[in-house]
Amino acid sequence: MSPERVSRNIAIASMLISAGLAVLKILVGYRAGSAAVVSDGLESAADVLASGLVLLGLVLAAKPADAMHPYGHGRVETLSAMVVGMLLVITGSLISFGSLVNWRVHDVPAGYAVWPLVASIVIKSVSGIAKRTYARKIGSSALAADSWNDSVDVLSGGVALTGLTLALLNPEGFSAADHYGGAAVGVIVLFLGVRVVRDTTLQLMDTMPESRALDEIREVAMRVPGAMGIEKCFARKTGLKWHVDLHLEVDPALSVLQSHEIATQVRISIKETLHWVADVLVHVEPYQQAVTTAPARGR
């Protein structure tokens, strides 16, 4: 099964899980009178929309390249991740505001409100680990954003559970803890959204990958017979993979055809060895040391 198809299946499963948890937490939280549980349920409801955006981005990003989009449609996946981040910022702000509006209402929630939070923490922990592992494997920024969304679900669930537990154990001393817990959930979601927006913005600005990744590209290229040096190596991410621009140095005495054959082998070798590279544009240049040491020609 292709990485794109597996990613879509993960996004669909995530939507169903988040929808079930959202309904459970909102209904139980409302009946139990817990602002923290309702806030966490609203956050899960936002997850449904976030996972839907991730799914849409993965589907559109899988479209093949065409005349108007020679690099493919991978940037749609990055854009969907950015929208997820913006959605988290808005959701977090609304949750915090809603929790603090009625902070003076200190009715003690019912004890059974604890269980939806416990279930959410366990389920989202497993989901987040699975998404993050596969996102790293295929290099999906949208799936990574969704995994961070699950991670914040665990954190927000823990915060909501703490506030609810304090209100249940000591109603007189911590009567407002449930509302403060709901507001804290919103703040966590907001900061996560800011991080996701920042990361996706860097990708849209063609930020270079880590130096380790560039070293891998150079190492694979230099294994090809005839490759004498790498003058420049650039890379930019488009969707799940990277497009590489490589300035390859070869013996200046070689013919154009011979230099082209070496460049072709370098391109093939990098694509076959490094699964995260979509394509390589190789520009052939004369090996500088050979040029500087060559004797000057007489006029």
Kindly state the tokens that stand for 290.
């050979």
**CB within 8 Å of 126: residues ≥ 6 apart:** none
Domain ranges of the chain: 3-204, 211-293
Q: What is the pLDDT of residue 266?
A: 96
∠ CA 195-120-192, nearest 5°, is 5
Block means of pLDDT (10 residues each) for the chain, length 299 residues?
70 83 88 78 77 75 77 78 83 75 62 85 87 77 73 78 78 66 76 83 82 93 94 85 92 94 95 90 86 50
CA quadruple 270, 274, 275, 281: dihedral sign: negative
- Same CATH topology for 3-204 and 211-293: the answer is no
- If one counts every other C-beta atom within 10 angstroms of the C-beta of residue 231, the result is 13
CATH topology of domain 3-204: Alpha-lytic protease prodomain-like (1.20.1510)
Beta-carbon-side half-sphere exposure of residue 13 (alpha carbons within 13 Å): 16
- If one counts every other C-beta atom within 10 angstroms of the C-beta of residue 265, the result is 17
Quote the CATH superfamily of domain 211-293: Cation efflux protein, cytoplasmic domain (3.30.70.1350)
Q: What is the pLDDT of residue 77?
A: 75
**CB within 8 Å of 268: residues ≥ 6 apart:** none
DSSP summary character for residue 283:
E
pTM reported for the whole predicted model: 0.60
Q: What is the pLDDT of residue 8?
A: 73
Q: What is the pLDDT of residue 169?
A: 79
Q: What is the pLDDT of residue 223?
A: 95
Q: What is the pLDDT of residue 65?
A: 75
Helix (H) or strand (E) holding 172: none
Q: What is the pLDDT of residue 292?
A: 53
Helix (H) or strand (E) holding 244: strand 241-250
Q: What is the pLDDT of residue 246?
A: 95
